[in-house]
Structure 1
Amino acid sequence: MPAEKTQSKVERGVYLSLSAYIVLSLLKLGVGWFYSSEALVADGLNNSTDILASVAVLVGLKISRKPADRDHPYGHLRAETIASMIASFIMVVIGLEVFISAVKSIVEFNIKPPSTIAGFTAIVSAFVMLAVYRYNIKLARETDSQGLKAAALDNRSDAFVSIGAAVGIFGAQFGILWLDPLAAVLVALMIIKTGWDIFYETSHNLSDGFDYEEGKEMEKKILQVIGVKQVTDLKARNHGSSAIIDVTILVNPSLNVIESHEITENIEAMLKQAYKVGSISVHVEPHEMKKEVERNE
Structure 2
Amino acid sequence: MVTLLRKLFIKNYQDVDNSLIRGKHGKLAAIFGIITNLLLVLLKFGIALYGASKNNWIIPLALLGDAINNLGDLASNLVTLIGFKMSLKPADKDHPFGHQRIEYISGLIVSVFVVTAGIELLVTSIKGII
Superposition TM-score, scaled by structure 2 size: 0.65
Residue 93 and residue 41 in structure 1: after superposition, are their counterparts in 2 closer, same or farther (change >3 A)?
Answer: farther
Paired position in structure 1 for 2:58 = 36
1:6 to 2:22 alignment:
yes
Equivalents in 2 of 1:43, 1:91: separation in Å? Answer: 15
2:76 aligned to which of 45, 53, 57: 53
The total of aligned residue pairs comes to 107
The structure that is helix-richer by fraction is 2
What secondary structure sits across from 2:76 in the alignment? helix
Q: Percent identity?
A: 31
What secondary structure sits across from 2:58 in the alignment? coil
CA shift for structure 1 position 15: 0.5
Equivalents in 2 of 1:81, 1:29: separation in Å? Answer: 32
Query: 8 Å contact 1:53–1:84 — kept in the other structure?
Result: no
What secondary structure sits across from 1:80 in the alignment? helix
Query: 8 Å contact 2:41–2:71 — kept in the other structure?
Result: yes
1:89 aligned to which of 77, 99, 112: 112
For 1:7, the aligned partner's letter is G
Equivalents in 2 of 1:54, 1:87: separation in Å? Answer: 8
Structure 1 unaligned regions, length at least 5: 109-297
Residue 60 and residue 72 in structure 1: after superposition, are their counterparts in 2 closer, same or farther (change >3 A)?
Answer: same
Paired position in structure 2 for 1:17 = 33
What secondary structure sits across from 1:75 in the alignment? coil
Rg larger in structure: 1
Root-mean-square deviation (Å): 2.6
Residue 86 and residue 21 in structure 1: after superposition, are their counterparts in 2 closer, same or farther (change >3 A)?
Answer: same
User: C-alpha offsets along residues 74-126 of structure 1, whole Å, 9 cap, x if unaligned?
Assistant: 2110101110110111222233334444555x559xxxxxxxxxxxxxxxxxx
Query: 8 Å contact 1:46–1:95 — kept in the other structure?
Result: no
Query: 8 Å contact 1:63–1:79 — kept in the other structure?
Result: yes
Structure 2 unaligned regions, length at least 5: 1-14
Residue 41 and residue 26 in structure 1: after superposition, are their counterparts in 2 closer, same or farther (change >3 A)?
Answer: same
The structure that is strand-richer by fraction is 1
Query: 8 Å contact 1:65–1:77 — kept in the other structure?
Result: yes
Paired position in structure 1 for 2:4 = none
1:63-74 superposed matches below 5 A:
63-74=86-97
Query: 8 Å contact 1:42–1:98 — kept in the other structure?
Result: no
Paired position in structure 1 for 2:42 = 26
Equivalents in 2 of 1:9, 1:74: separation in Å? Answer: 21
Greater RCO (CA < 8 Å, at least 6 residues apart)? 2
1:219-230 superposed matches below 5 A:
none
